[in-house]
Structure formats: C-alpha cells, structure tokens
Amino acid sequence: MKVTVVGAGAVGASCAEYIAIKNFASEVVLVDIKEGFAEGKAMDLMQTASLNGFDTRITGVTGDYSKTANSDVCVITSGIPRKPGMTREELIGINAGIVKDVSANLVKHSPNTILIIVSNPMDTMAYLAHKTSGLEKNKIIGMGGALDSARFKYRLAEALGAPISDVDGMVIGGHSDTGMVPLTRMATRNSIPMTKFLSEERLEQVKEDTKVGGATLTKLLGTSAWYAPGAAVSAMVQAIACDQKKMFPCSALLEGEYGMDDISIGVPVILGKNGIEKIVEIELTDAEKNHIKESSEGVRKTNGLLEL
C-alpha cells in the first residue's frame, strides 16, 4: 500500500503521521512545492518511527511526481488555508489552479489511484477533480464530513458531560459554515436518541457550534486546524487500504441520489478498496431536505466560479 500526500504543511504532515502510526501502509510519499520542505518533514517523521513503533517508510520530494508512481491512494492537501474571518469559499482563486495541476500530475503517474481531496473549498475542489482528472467517480472522494462528524461528536459529548465513545452522530451536506447539516435527530448515546438527554435548545447550540467548528479553531490558532483533519483523512485512507467497508459522510459526485445531480457534496458512503463502494441514501425530514437543498445551492454557486 503506497500513499501519496501532496502538501507537506500542517494537514498533510498530520495525515502522514497518523497513517504511519496506524502502521497499515508500506510507504507514504510527501510532496510539496517548497524546496526541501517535504524532505524535511519526512525525515523528522521517520525519526519518530523507533519511538512510535511504526514500519511505514515516509519519504519527501519537491515537486517530483515520478516518485509518487503507482500510489494506491493520493491525498491532496496543497493550497492555502484560511485566516481568521475568511470563509473556505474565498480560497478558490488560488486553490483551484493548484488542485487541477496536482491532480493531473498524480493521475499521470498513478492512473488507477483513488484521490482524496482536502484542499478548500473542498466540495468544489472535488467537483473540479471530477471534471478534469479523468478518474471514475467512485475514485474521487472529498474529505469534510468525517471531520465535521468528529467535531459534532465532540460537541455532543461536551453537552452530555459524557465520553465521546458514548456518542454517535453524523454531519452531511456541504463542508462550509452554513452548508453543514448535523443530523441531531439521528444522533444517539448508546443507541438512545440524543433528544432523551438534551433539550431542543441545547441540541441547537451543539448544531451551531459544530457548523462553525473550523472557524472557531481558525480564530484561536490564526490558521486552520490540522490534528483532526489529519486524523479524519487517515481514517478514510485506512478504510480504503484495509477494505473496511466503513461508512463516512464524504463529498461524492451525485447522479440522482438525494434528488441531486452533477454536484459533489457530503453524503454517507461506504469506503473500501474501490473507493466509494456505495452511496447510502437515508430518509430525511422535510426540514433536513430543505437544509441540504440550501447547502447544495451554496456549493453550486462556488462551483460556478470554476473556469472549466
């Protein structure tokens, strides 16, 4: 199992570290455009191997895609992150060009790869990859819902005063401050509906805190977060590498599912060795349907800014 991670910055390095620590991949190649940066990050990470007990070989290269050849999974984290006060959508001008170039380079050397898109605005960057990379639709997966759901579970556990392992929940929809749809109605504590434990007002607060989860961290850190994003990507890579058939909400190209067409947006999917093995359709209430429709309109508006 060979994994390439493009962008050796905060998210890319965190993702490489978690993949290595979980010890399921033989090789991780980090790629960056900044001279020596990926090589440095790879060397630093390799010097944790004897301490953290992993055998994954991490190497770094500056822009040399021949070293990424025959990667099973490629992750794109290259591009600029947001600064406090910015929306993810504002990053499109710079990141669209980067994602288009990087995905073309990756596919040239790994024509059968599965691509995970992380760079923001993620749903639109995944759509761009669908339109330009030539890969089949099951092989392009946007990472957003896995992270947003982890943030949702954190907020639910906080509201309950319970350990996170007690709670389950999922966030679908667009990966944006307004577009996320945390499914509070379906969230549970040990299979008991969350509504048995939390008032409607408290659940609404959890929902709002989840939606601005990224912006809250950007304000505190001065840049966007990296530990949970890296962990979310590594869990998705592991599900594919180990053919786990695990369910995550991911940005997937829809062709009629959820009544939508020609859009990549967050829906529950099964991840396995073929990438997206199945899109899972769940019954939504009218309010949830309206919310996801609004969310899709936001994503389409950003998609409209792409020069395809």
Ligand X SMILES: NC(=O)c1ccc[n+]([C@@H]2O[C@H](COP(=O)([O-])OP(=O)(O)OC[C@H]3O[C@@H](n4cnc5c(N)ncnc54)[C@H](O)[C@@H]3O)[C@@H](O)[C@H]2O)c1
33 vs 162, which CB is nearer to ligand X? 33
Residue 98 interacts with ligand X (CB under 6 A): yes or no? yes
Q: Which of 65, 152, 226, 248 binds ligand X (CB under 6 A)?
A: 226
Q: Which of 31, 150, 215, 271 binds ligand X (CB under 6 A)?
A: 31
Helix axis angle for 92-109 and 122-132, nearest 10°, is 40
- CB hemisphere CA count around 245 (13 angstroms): 1
β-pairing, 275-279 with 261-272? antiparallel
DSSP alpha helix (H) spans, the chain: 10-22, 37-46, 49-52, 92-109, 122-132, 145-160, 200-211, 213-221, 227-241, 286-303
Strand partners, 59: 29
59 vs 223, which CB is nearer to ligand X? 223
Candidates 46-54, 75-83, 156-164, 202-210: pick the segment binding ligand X (CB under 6 A): 75-83
CB of 190 to ligand X, least distance (A): 28
Residues 6+ apart with CB under 8 A from 4: 28, 29, 30, 31, 68, 71, 73, 74, 75, 106, 110, 113
194 vs 237, which CB is nearer to ligand X? 237
Nearest to 15 by CA among 269, 239, 228, 271: 228
Nearest to 225 by CA among 214, 235, 236: 214
Q: Which of 2, 4, 7, 92 binds ligand X (CB under 6 A)?
A: 7
Residue 230 interacts with ligand X (CB under 6 A): yes or no? no
Candidates 10-18, 164-172, 197-205, 299-307: pick the segment binding ligand X (CB under 6 A): 10-18
Q: Which two tokens stand for residue 265?
A: 């947006």
Residue 134 DSSP symbol: -
Candidates 22-30, 42-50, 115-123, 286-294: pick the segment binding ligand X (CB under 6 A): 115-123
Nearest to 276 by CA among 89, 95, 143, 187: 143
CB of 21 to ligand X, least distance (A): 18
CB of 251 to ligand X, least distance (A): 9
Residue 8 interacts with ligand X (CB under 6 A): yes or no? yes
Question: Which positions from 236 through 295 interact with ligand X, judged by CB under 6 A?
Answer: none
- List Cβ<8 Å contacts ≥24 apart for 194-198: 194/156, 194/167, 194/169, 197/160, 198/156, 198/159, 198/160
Residue 118 interacts with ligand X (CB under 6 A): yes or no? yes
**Degrees to nearest 5, angle at CA 97 with 93 and 98:** 110
State yes or no: is 175 an active-site residue: yes
Q: Which of 3, 5, 10, 270 binds ligand X (CB under 6 A)?
A: 10
Max CA separation in the chain (angstroms): 55
18 vs 197, which CB is nearer to ligand X? 18
Any idea which residue has 């929902």 for tokens? 207
8 vs 270, which CB is nearer to ligand X? 8
Q: Which of 4, 68, 71, 77 binds ligand X (CB under 6 A)?
A: 77
10 vs 215, which CB is nearer to ligand X? 10
- Per CB under 6 A, residues contacting ligand X are 6-12, 31-34, 37, 77-82, 91, 95, 98, 101-102, 118-120, 122, 143-144, 147, 175, 223-226, 229
User: Active-site residue numbers?
Assistant: 175
